């Protein structure tokens, strides 16, 4: 269905929107490595606290 649509202007670089998003994500991660690492670490910490942490672990964090 996407191939049937006529586009005006310059041609698309990627025919598949998922491929375009994947490439954009890779480019963002490469350019913002420190921010991506921070967000990954924050998410891992939150999941640990919510799912696996004991009272002793929470006391250490506090």
Query: How does pLDDT run across 3-34, given as a tens digit for each residue?
Result: 566 768 888 889 999 999 999 999 999 999 99
In 1-62, which ranges are continuous DSSP H helix?
A: 17-31, 33-51, 55-61
Tokens read off for 40: 């990954």
33-51 vs 17-31: helix crossing angle, rounded to 10: 100
Q: How far apart are CA 28 and CA 4, in angstroms?
A: 31
pLDDT score of 1 more than 60: no
What is the reported pLDDT for 43?
A: 98
Q: Per-residue confidence at 61, pLDDT binned at 50, 70, 90?
A: confident
pLDDT score of 49 more than 80: yes
Contact 58, 49 (CB under 8 A): yes
């Amino acid at each position: 269905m996407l191939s049937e649509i006529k586009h005006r202007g310059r041609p698309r670089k990627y025919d598949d929107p998922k491929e375009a998003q994947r490439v954009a994500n890779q480019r963002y991660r490469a350019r913002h490595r420190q921010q991506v690492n921070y967000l990954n670490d924050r998410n891992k910490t939150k999941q640990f606290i919510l799912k696996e942490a004991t009272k002793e672990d929470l006391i250490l964090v506090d």
